[in-house]
Chain A
Amino acid sequence: MPATYEPISTQTIGTAIASVTFSSVPATYTDLILVFNGTSASTQGMELRFNGDTATNYSATRLRGDGASAASDRSSSLDVMEVGNVYTSQTVNVFQIMNYANTTTFKTVLCRSNNDSAQVSARVGLWRKTPEAITTIFLRPAGGANFSVGSVFTLYGIKAA
């Protein structure tokens, strides 16, 4: 069986930091999976940005439950993709970035964001920049908070063949 689920890079936070960047993402896979397990200094959304694009090319839709009620909301025309959450207690975010290396389509992201004490959500995000392969992934908590020590980010590559 060919190797289709390969680790590209792991970053473990040793000192609280405001953002994490995966650079030089190889274009040799079909899809990407990014797994986050960690915390932040305060409860925040988690924001993504691709290839350093700071134009208002990002939108996202969220379906969420907080243990009492279900709701949905959207963000659009932002300079970051609000597609996850991070909390002061253990948070699991699993991002799937489909067909990331093509130069013909806008890029979409699916995220399952999980925190047992606050919220569970499913999200989809869109990056509408003139199509280009994703080579850099930037992540940060919203509101200027830091990722806490011990938080782990791992980027995997998935091959269709």
Chain B
Amino acid sequence: MANTYTLIQSVTVGSGGAASIEFGSIPQTYTDLVLVGSLRSTSTSSNTGEYDAFGYRFNSSTSGYTTRNLQGNGSVASSSTQTTMTASVGGTYGRISNAGINNSLSGTSIFTSINLYIPNYVGSINKSWSLEYVEEGNATTRYSEIIAGLWSNTTAISSIAFALVTGNFAQYSSASLYGIKNS
């Protein structure tokens, strides 16, 4: 029986940082997609604290994004919804998180882990997805979040891009996209 968890593409940010992380020309031959990332922002003037909100685009689209999240910060659990954000790279992105990924204020060498699952990414249905991430550190308040997301668009997903509300993705940030086949 075939191994169906296949690496499609992997990105590691170089010494200059990167305003976005992008996966293009995604093959339409899998059933589901999984994206695993280790991300950090270069920002030292965060919009929200020691983390920066991050966003995404499918197929370069600037609309149709909504999320519903559940987060804990070490003392309180809460829930909220998100739609879009203006990214530092320019333009509108779907906002993934209520909090965000570690930035330069959050301690040396601390990266945020994310795991994104996108089922049926080529189907002619609106694209729903599941994501969890943890923005850790040694401070009193840190965030973990689970998120349900939707891109209200029935087009097959052929590209994915991530961007930050402020700053760039720091050197050594990495993300890998995997394809899963159900046969």
Interface residues of A (CB under 8 A from B): 1-7, 10, 35, 37, 63-70, 89-92, 94, 112-122, 150, 152, 154, 156
Q: Which residues of A contact B120 (CB under 8 A)?
A: 37, 152
Q: Which residues of B contact A67 (CB under 8 A)?
A: 68-69, 79-81
Name the distance in Å between A125's Cβ and chain B's nearest Cβ. Answer: 17
User: Would you call A120 and B3 a contact (CB within 8 A)?
Assistant: no
| A93 to B, closest residue via Cβ | B130
User: Would you call A92 and B70 a contact (CB within 8 A)?
Assistant: no
Q: Which residues of A contact B71 (CB under 8 A)?
A: 65, 70
Q: Which residues of A contact B70 (CB under 8 A)?
A: 63-65, 70, 120-122
| A121 to B, closest residue via Cβ | B70
Across the interface, A120 reaches (CB within 8 A) one of B78, B125, B148, namely B148
| Interface check B128, CB cutoff 8 A | yes
Name the distance in Å between B151's Cβ and chain A's nearest Cβ. Answer: 9
Q: Which residues of B contact A2 (CB under 8 A)?
A: 3
Name the distance in Å between B143's Cβ and chain A's nearest Cβ. Answer: 13
State the 5 A-B residue pairs at the shortest beta-carbon distance, nearest first: A65-B79, A65-B70, A114-B148, A3-B3, A116-B150
Offer 23 A-B interface pairs, CB within 8 angstroms, sorted by A: A1-B3, A3-B1, A3-B2, A4-B3, A7-B2, A10-B182, A63-B70, A64-B79, A65-B77, A65-B79, A65-B80, A65-B146, A69-B79, A90-B128, A94-B117, A116-B66, A116-B67, A119-B148, A120-B69, A120-B146, A120-B148, A121-B146, A122-B70
A5 to B117, CA, bound (A): 15
- Main secondary structure, interface of A, reads strand
Name the distance in Å between A111's Cβ and chain B's nearest Cβ. Answer: 10
A119 to B148, CA, bound (A): 8
A90 to B126, CA, bound (A): 7
A112 to B2, CA, bound (A): 26
Interface positions, chain B 55-112, Cβ under 8 Å from A, are: 66-72, 77-81
A83 to B134, CA, bound (A): 23
User: Would you call B3 and A112 a contact (CB within 8 A)?
Assistant: no
Q: Which of A69, A89, A112 neighbours the largest number of chain B CB atoms within 10 Å of its CB?
A: A112
